[in-house]
Chains A and B, each alone.
Chain A
Amino acid sequence: MELNKTVGKSISRLEGKLKVTGAAKYAAEYKVDDLLHGYVVSSPVTKGKITKIDTSRAMAIPGVIEVLSHENRPKLAWFDLQYMDMDAPPGTVFKPLYDENILYNGQPIALVVARDFETARYASAQIDFEFEEEIFQTCLEDNLDKARPAKKGFATALKPPPPPPTGEFETAFANAAVKVESEFQHGTEHHNPIELFATTTVYEGKGKLTIYDKTQGTINNQLFVANIFGLRYKNVRVLAPFVGGAFGSGLRPQYQLFLCVMAALHLKQNVRVVLDRKQMFSFSHRPPAIQKMRFASDMNGRLTALGHEVVAETSNFEDYTEPTASWSHRLYPAPNTLFKHKIVPLDVYTPMDMRAPGGSTALHAIECTMDELSYKLKIDPLELRLINYSDVDQASKKPYTSKALRECYLQAAEKFGWKDRNPEPRSMKRGNKLVGYGMATGIWDAYQFPARVQLMMNSDGLLVVNNATTDIGTGTLTVMTQIAADELGLSLENVDFRYGDSKKPFSMFQGGSAITSSTGVAIVVAARALRKKLLKKAAEMNSSPFKKAGDEDVFFESGNMHLKKDPAVMISLKDIIAFNKGIPIKTTNMGKPHMLKLRKYSLATHSASFVEVEVDQDVGTVTVTRAVTAVAAGKIINPKTARSQILGSMIWGVSKALHEETIMDAKLGKYMNANLGEYHIPVHADIGELDVIFADEKDELINELGTKGVGEIGLVGMPAAISNAIFHATGKRIYKLPIHFDELI
């Protein structure tokens, strides 16, 4: 029976051919008749007021239809609540073209609509604005005196503030046998998916809109549009079948959606708005943060005190927070803890979740501090982690549903060759290169959101699976098809997963590494119901051998339903539908986390990353020559697409450690390298040999599938592993990311 199963097998992504041949359409690529093009005008001023707008020069350009600004925009929903999206932090949501106030540099201040994109872009530079500029603050380091705890709100549920102190931290730290105290600095990063944010709005008339949008949440954006523009939910359809990367930037509706819909409704025409690369730096980013670390242990390496105090940037209108400060306690036991997370509001746009938000920032500081501690203790860094290993989440005092981190450590260390490491810094050399080995731990939440799925068995034997989720490039289409195929005993060709459409049954936005467990579990629940219905229908047939069979007495394989006790007794699913007069048999069901059971447990994925670097002994250039990451994330539905997820995150780890930084000029109040030439991410030449291991982790508690998600865990440990390898190679600890090679000479 297991022979035909696809779950656990490496299946190439089903939409791969569409993507590599260009047949897959993205939000800005749909052919629509009589399409107008909008181009956003961005504020050159960081803070102040628009005192005058003269659009006469722009309006005089042939082909220009309209210039929308706060002065002539249509009436909008008044209350803040109606602007809220599912991922809005506490505060006042930014409202494009709302009034004359400018809150941050690059804020959209007008939309030019023209017959073609080039005319709109040209005209955008022909509008005469006058501004009253105000003093602004955009530098985190200069404004630490304004640090305060974040307000609580809807989003706090997923990002709770750190737990209260335990024990007597200050005393314990002061009197500790061995301790490390340091401060880490992380800069701003922007998501920069290759696909630019874009919206194509088809004006259907009678208050009806079809919207092709770049998003991680079709329903999130449907509700947002309907609420603001006073439309009926059922009249707003948001489609996003293909998404060219998002990494968190599509968790909230972005301003091009708002402006595009506004223009379409105002002009009663089809409109497209595409942001340019510079504008991709005008919304959502990973916030800069300063982390003060104080870890202490006894002489044997047992941690006695964990102190992690974070100050991070937010905007002046929303209190964005990341889960940062308490991760160390979820990994390591210690009787005395002090965790704080404060924010500093600045004149910037609100930061947003960016792949492994909080986790990647925090674990860099935590795992570098553990490395530093290991040197003070003269204990191998891996050994120190094992000394402090715990199957219980110390922050909540709950056991993990499963935790194969020990296996991750040991398997990755073995594959990497960690035992060959001479712990002495600068002791390993290869020609002109100093060689360093470093390791670090990763941890990330295993989320599951409620989701609804409709299953429909058709007369031709095709199972249609409907859910509103997107596939942001992670392989969602493929894994959902695998899960559904196995549940109904079908081949992959006989399953059609239809998604990326707000008209489909509910899915949350695709974030937090949660969708495989969310939509996947809903498929399992719905499949159970569908099998029942199919059996019931089959039993209605004259002299059906299934008349007395219960749910447990049958199995589904190769498009047929069989009796377990006599597998030769079978009926094809097609015949069941034919007996139903060809009418499809369908069911819609909700999958949701088992809160009652799970509240006694802690839920997380884990990883261990081992990295080798070469640092040039004269000029300091760094190469990550190889890396091994072992991941414990429960059941792996598709090892091939999962491996791609981990490889992508490991490369992002290289990026975070060595390359990525958005440069804010605080005197000008703006980002200076807002393009992909100067905002560096790794190129092929920067990436060495990468190895991925999935540790065997059976989790029968977490959900029906035993899955935990792999979207983020591969990134979390890498930056610290690289920093620690650089220390081992050079003897230099660099506390600021990205590490510039010139700091190593």
Chain B
Amino acid sequence: MNNFGYKQAEDTREAISLIEHNETAKFVAGGTNLIDLWKYNIANPSQLIDINHLAELSEIKTLEHGGLRLGAGVKNADTAYHPVVEHQYPLLSKAILAGASAQIRNMASNGGNLLQRTRCYYFYDAEVPCNKRIPGSGCPAKDGYNRIHAILGTSEHCIAVFPSDMCVALAALDAVVNITGPTGNRSIAFADFHRLPDNRPDLDNNLKKDELITSIDLPEKGFAANYAYLKLRDRHSYAFALVSVATALELKGNTIEDVKIALGGVAHKPWRSTEAEEFLKGKAANAENFSIAADLILQGAKGFGYNEFKIKLAKKAIIRNGLMALNPESQLPGAQPSA
């Protein structure tokens, strides 16, 4: 861990101007991932710009045209337990509470959750090659121990997965990421925020170095009647998902009017399939149709040895979570499969 400078930004404008003029500066909010990366010699910022006190980032408010704005600086725990989130967007609340530990959720910010880096073992070990850490150095995960790695959207350069739970729900809910930067404000649809590795695995997302996430907007429709988040992992809490599924259904009787399904733990970003969702629309919400949808979602899925099981597991999880969404009360804490 190197010596570094520290400054509290007065407002977003100052925050942007500080980072614009220092190549090796970093924003810090909760620091729950940055400090790890720093201790492992993976991030070595020369300057920390503390954005915890920025009023513009610290609110949750309803939007005029419906929907909800989640400030980027709001803590994950405060978001999950916010009454509007709990009632209108319970899928998001459940997904957040399935992640990390109570202590980490109390510290971690919403913006930071989007920007957390992969938990690939090889990425975290500065002594071994990793294309995400040192472009062109190689990917030992491909023929290494890859139980936790991706089965969808991989490239020959990287098979890492994006670890967030919260973002799986945000992807399913069609959230929008609001950003500010030196040239003004812009918004990115959630599906376009994170990237697939392709030939630039060093880039996790489309946020530029000198940009700052200010908030995340949720559309009005929160699928509060029929939703489920299922997280499958090697222990019942405080572990990253091997496979997770967020399912949001709008039903008329047992017929699916609208549906969103997003997967976590399987790709470099939360995984959605328009084709699968289109297939389900107008169909009965049953295991058979969820199974067909699962096959559509998992088209092209490819294992690398230790993670082959994820293909079969993801299919089972998509079906089970579809059925769990029919009866949201059946869900257990920690996003475990229903009793």
Cβ of B119 and Cβ of A659 under 8 Å apart? no
Residues of A within 8 A of B125 (CB): 670, 672
> Could you give, for residues 284-328 of chain B, a 1 whenever the CB lies within 8 Å of some chain A CB and a 0 otherwise?
000000000000000000000000011011001101100000000
Cβ of B242 and Cβ of A682 under 8 Å apart? no
Say yes or no: A125-B237 contact (C-beta < 8 A), given A616-B337, A663-B145, A667-B140: no
Within 8 A of B (CB), among A166-201: none
Residues of B within 8 A of A743 (CB): 309
From A121, which residue of chain B is reached at the shortest CB distance? B1
> Could you give, for residues 653-672 of chain A, a 1 whenever the CB lies within 8 Å of some chain B CB and a 0 otherwise?
00000110001010110101
Say yes or no: A678-B121 contact (C-beta < 8 A), given A618-B319, A619-B317, A742-B309: yes
Cβ of B144 and Cβ of A665 under 8 Å apart? yes
Q: How far is the CB of B141 from chain A (nearest CB, A)?
A: 9
Q: Does B205 contact A (CB under 8 A)?
A: no
CA distance A402 to B144 in the complex (A): 50
Cβ of B145 and Cβ of A672 under 8 Å apart? yes
Listed stretches A258-266, A494-502, A546-554, A683-691; interface member: A683-691
Cβ of A745 and Cβ of B312 under 8 Å apart? yes
Q: Does B106 contact A (CB under 8 A)?
A: no
From B243, which residue of chain A is reached at the shortest CB distance? A619
From B231, which residue of chain A is reached at the shortest CB distance? A621
From A45, which residue of chain B is reached at the shortest CB distance? B127
Residues of A within 8 A of B6 (CB): none
Residues of A within 8 A of B317 (CB): 619
Cβ of B236 and Cβ of A659 under 8 Å apart? no
CA distance A686 to B339 in the complex (A): 15
Say yes or no: A741-B312 contact (C-beta < 8 A), given A621-B336, A685-B334: no
CA distance A678 to B120 in the complex (A): 10
Q: Does A677 contact B (CB under 8 A)?
A: yes
Q: Does B3 contact A (CB under 8 A)?
A: yes
Say yes or no: A619-B313 contact (C-beta < 8 A), given A44-B127, A672-B145: yes
Cβ of A686 and Cβ of B235 under 8 Å apart? yes
* Tally of contact residues, B, Cβ under 8 A: 39
Residues of B within 8 A of A121 (CB): 1
Q: Does B338 contact A (CB under 8 A)?
A: yes
Q: Does B97 contact A (CB under 8 A)?
A: no
Residues of A within 8 A of B334 (CB): 685
Cβ of B143 and Cβ of A667 under 8 Å apart? yes
Q: How far is the CB of B159 from chain A (nearest CB, A)?
A: 14
Cβ of A680 and Cβ of B236 under 8 Å apart? no
Q: Does A544 contact B (CB under 8 A)?
A: no
CA distance A439 to B264 in the complex (A): 37
What is the interface of chain B mostly: helix, strand, loop, or mixed?
A: loop
Q: How far is the CB of B1 from chain A (nearest CB, A)?
A: 6
CA distance A470 to B313 in the complex (A): 48
Residues of A within 8 A of B313 (CB): 619-620, 742, 745
What is the interface of chain A mostly: helix, strand, loop, or mixed?
A: loop
A-B residue pairs in contact (CB < 8 Å), sample of 17: A430-B339, A432-B339, A619-B230, A619-B232, A658-B234, A667-B144, A670-B125, A670-B127, A672-B122, A672-B125, A677-B119, A680-B239, A742-B309, A742-B310, A745-B312, A745-B313, A745-B316
Cβ of A659 and Cβ of B234 under 8 Å apart? yes
Cβ of B234 and Cβ of A740 under 8 Å apart? yes
Q: Does B22 contact A (CB under 8 A)?
A: no
From A431, which residue of chain B is reached at the shortest CB distance? B339
Give A contacts to B, CB under 8 Å: 44, 118, 121-122, 125, 430-433, 616, 618-621, 623, 658-659, 663, 665, 667-668, 670, 672-673, 675, 677-678, 680, 682-686, 740-743, 745
The listed residue with most A CB atoms (<10 A of its CB), out of B122, B124, B236, B319, is: B236
Cβ of A668 and Cβ of B144 under 8 Å apart? yes
Say yes or no: A682-B235 contact (C-beta < 8 A), given A431-B339, A668-B140: yes
Residues of B within 8 A of A672 (CB): 121-122, 125, 144-145
Q: Does B46 contact A (CB under 8 A)?
A: no
Say yes or no: A122-B3 contact (C-beta < 8 A), given A432-B339, A678-B121, A745-B316: yes
From A672, which residue of chain B is reached at the shortest CB distance? B121
Cβ of B1 and Cβ of A680 under 8 Å apart? no
Residues of B within 8 A of A125 (CB): 41
Residues of A within 8 A of B144 (CB): 665, 667-668, 672
Cβ of A665 and Cβ of B237 under 8 Å apart? no
Q: Does B189 contact A (CB under 8 A)?
A: no
Say yes or no: A683-B238 contact (C-beta < 8 A), given A618-B316, A618-B319: yes
> Could you give, for residues 209-223 of chain B, a 1 whenever the CB lies within 8 Å of some chain A CB and a 0 otherwise?
000000000000000
CA distance A742 to B243 in the complex (A): 11
Q: Does B63 contact A (CB under 8 A)?
A: no
Cβ of B145 and Cβ of A680 under 8 Å apart? no
Residues of A within 8 A of B140 (CB): 665, 667-668
> Could you give, for residues 118-132 of chain B, a 1 whenever the CB lies within 8 Å of some chain A CB and a 0 otherwise?
010110110110000
Cβ of B339 and Cβ of A433 under 8 Å apart? yes
Cβ of A684 and Cβ of B237 under 8 Å apart? yes
Q: Does B183 contact A (CB under 8 A)?
A: no
Residues of A within 8 A of B319 (CB): 618
Residues of B within 8 A of A684 (CB): 237
CA distance A42 to B145 in the complex (A): 22
> Could you give, for residues 229-259 of chain B, a 1 whenever the CB lies within 8 Å of some chain A CB and a 0 otherwise?
0101011111100100000000000000000
> Could you give, for residues 128-142 of chain B, a 1 whenever the CB lies within 8 Å of some chain A CB and a 0 otherwise?
100000000000100
Contact of A678 among B119, B310, B337 (CB under 8 A): B119
Q: Does B2 contact A (CB under 8 A)?
A: yes
CA distance A672 to B121 in the complex (A): 6
Say yes or no: A432-B338 contact (C-beta < 8 A), given A619-B313, A673-B121: yes
CA distance A122 to B144 in the complex (A): 30
Q: How far is the CB of A122 from chain B (nearest CB, A)?
A: 6
